[in-house]
Structures are given as structure tokens and as C-alpha cells.
């Protein structure tokens, strides 16, 4: 990818394309700011309830920002995949929940169920008094939508298993006969051989990352696709709130630990 074809960040800055983790760390800070702006716009839309066409445009724009994030991540991983599995731009708390270089895709579906339960519970008193659950938020998911979510979850679990098998194969390759032989030798030839072997293994992990990021984006789009525009706004609000809250908590915890 050339400099002229590098993807643009939503705020107009260039995404990292050739200098790997260090540049992506800077991009990630821009992404956090962009997600905060998106969250403000989503919250405003959830309150104002414009027509479906305007809501759909907002949802598509936010999804476009997620797509841009993964394009930038892919470009950085092409330069150096190693930082993607030990990212410096997230907190130690966030690192606890990393799955193949990011969030576990089925977490998006669990988030849908959790937010739906919270919003349904808030509506129950009025519903028991004869009111309607409505369909303006996730508390009003229909039986068809819940069935579609279940089917998506099943597909996503299968996808996760395939990726985990690919990751296991790549990780187990560290202990091949060739690696054992090289580890027992010394000298320039052994060092060069080790570098070639490790480059090949890093390439295998890059393929795992690509598969995982593709499933993450596919699942996100799948959840949004089974929702009505107003419901999709509420889901994207929940996704941004959770990510930003955990990121902020982790950074604060890291800062407190560093100060001790």
C-alpha cells in the first residue's frame, strides 16, 4: 500500500500503513476520540428519535468507522504483527480479555442480550400495567430477532473455533523439530535460520489476526443487521460505552499502579 492509497482516518489524518505498532498506537488514540464523538451522536439520536433514514445513515457512518479501524489495523499488522498481540495502546486490564488480538466476537452478541435485558427490565412495570414494550430500543426485540441472534451466535461460535484451531497450530509450530535443532546450535547460520523460522511463524499469526478481525467485523455487522435502525443505535451506544468505560478504567488503574 502506497502513501497515496493509505486509508484516511475519519478526522482526516492518515492511518498507519508501513511503520507498525508505534504508529498504530497514535492512530488508536485518534480512534478513541472518534468513538467518543460517535457515542455523543448516537446518544443524541437515541433521545431525539429522528426518522429511520437518518438513523440508518448514522448507523452506517459509525460502522464505517469500525471498518476503517480494521483497515488501519491490517495495514499496521502487515508491517509488524507482533505488537497486535501485545498492544502497548491498551491497559493491562484490557489485555486480560484479548482474544486473538482483539475482542471475542461472541461478546457482541452477549452485549446485545445484556443490553436487551436491562432495557426490558426498565419497561416491565409499564408493560404489566397494560403498556407496550415497543420496538424503539433493545427491550422490544421480537421472537424473530431473537431467533436470528441465536443463529448468528451459533455461526460465530463455529468461526471462533476455526480461528482457535488455526492459532493453536501456529503456536504449536514453535516446537517443531527444525526449531529444536536451531535452538541447540550456535553461530550465525543458526541465528539466520531462527530468524527465517520466526518470520514464517509470525506470518501464520498474521493470518490468524486477519481471520479474527474479519469475524469481529462480520459479527458486529450481523448484530446491527438484525436490528431496526433505532435498536441499532442503542446497540452501538452500548458497545461504545462499554469499550470506552473499560479503557478508561484500565488506564486509571495502570496510572495508579505506576504511581505506587
Q: What is the pLDDT of residues 169-204, one digit of tens each?
A: 988 888 788 878 888 887 777 778 878 888 888 999
For helices 187-225 and 52-79, the axis angle rounded to 10 degrees is: 170
Does the pLDDT value for residue 256 go beyond 60? Answer: yes
* Residue-level pLDDT at 2: 32
| Distance (Å) of CA 200 to CA 39, 81, 93, 194, 213 | 40, 12, 30, 10, 20
Q: What is the largest CA-CA distance in the chain?
A: 81
* Residue-level pLDDT at 127: 58
State pLDDT tens for residues 57-106.
Answer: 999 999 999 999 999 999 999 999 999 999 999 999 999 999 999 999 99
Q: Quote the cell numbers at residue 73.
A: 489495523
Are the C-beta atoms of 209 and 81 separated by less than 8 Å?
yes
Specify the higher pLDDT residue, 94 or 124: 94
* Residue-level pLDDT at 16: 44
State pLDDT tens for residues 27-63.
Answer: 999 999 999 999 999 999 999 878 999 999 999 999 9
Q: Which residue has the cell 475482542?
A: 103
* Residue-level pLDDT at 130: 55
Round the CA-based radius of gyration of the chain to a whole number and report it. 22
Does the pLDDT value for residue 22 go beyond 50? Answer: yes
Q: Quote the cell numbers at residue 224.
A: 446491527
Neighbours of 72 (CB within 10 A): 24
Q: List CB contacts of 221: < 8 A, sequence separation 6 or more.
A: 63
Does the pLDDT value for residue 4 go beyond 60? Answer: no
State pLDDT tens for residues 138-153.
Answer: 998 999 999 999 999 9
Are the C-beta atoms of 224 and 59 separated by less than 8 Å?
yes
* Residue-level pLDDT at 254: 92
State pLDDT tens for residues 151-164.
Answer: 999 999 999 999 99
- Mean pLDDT for all residues in the chain: 87
| Distance (Å) of CA 246 to CA 29, 97, 212, 233, 238 | 15, 11, 21, 20, 12
Structure confidence at residue 11 as a pLDDT band (50, 70, 90): very low
Specify the higher pLDDT residue, 209 or 194: 209
* Residue-level pLDDT at 212: 98
Amino acid at each position: 500500500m502506497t502513501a497515496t492509497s493509505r486509508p484516511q482516518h475519519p478526522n482526516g489524518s492518515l492511518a498507519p500503513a508501513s511503520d507498525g505498532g508505534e504508529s498504530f498506537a497514535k492512530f488508536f488514540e485518534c480512534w478513541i476520540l472518534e468513538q467518543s464523538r460517535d457515542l455523543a451522536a448516537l446518544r443524541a439520536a437515541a433521545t431525539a428519535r429522528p426518522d429511520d433514514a437518518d438513523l440508518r445513515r448514522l448507523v452506517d457512518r459509525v460502522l464505517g468507522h469500525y471498518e476503517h479501524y480494521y483497515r488501519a489495523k491490517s495495514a499496521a499488522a502487515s508491517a509488524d504483527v507482533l505488537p497486535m498481540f501485545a498492544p502497548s495502546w491498551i491497559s493491562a486490564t484490557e489485555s486480560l480479555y484479548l482474544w486473538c488480538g482483539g475482542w471475542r466476537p461472541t461478546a457482541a452478541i452477549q452485549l446485545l442480550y445484556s443490553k436487551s435485558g436491562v432495557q426490558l427490565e426498565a419497561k416491565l412495570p409499564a408493560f404489566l400495567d397494560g403498556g407496550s414494550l415497543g420496538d424503539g430500543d433493545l427491550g422490544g426485540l421480537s421472537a424473530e430477532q431473537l431467533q436470528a441472534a441465536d443463529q448468528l451466535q451459533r455461526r460465530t461460535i463455529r468461526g471462533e473455533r476455526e480461528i482457535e484451531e488455526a492459532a493453536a497450530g501456529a503456536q504449536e509450530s514453535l516446537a517443531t523439530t527444525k526449531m529444536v535443532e536451531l535452538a541447540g546450535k550456535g553461530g550465525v547460520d543458526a541465528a539466520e535460520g531462527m530468524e527465517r523460522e520466526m518470520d514464517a511463524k509470525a506470518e501464520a499469526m498474521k493470518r490468524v489476526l486477519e481471520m479474527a478481525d474479519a469475524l469481529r467485523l462480520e459479527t458486529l455487522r450481523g448484530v446491527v443487521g438484525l436490528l431496526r435502525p433505532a435498536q441499532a443505535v442503542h446497540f452501538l451506544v452500548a458497545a461504545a460505552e462499554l469499550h470506552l468505560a473499560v479503557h478508561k478504567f484500565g488506564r486509571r488503574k495502570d496510572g495508579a499502579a505506576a504511581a505506587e
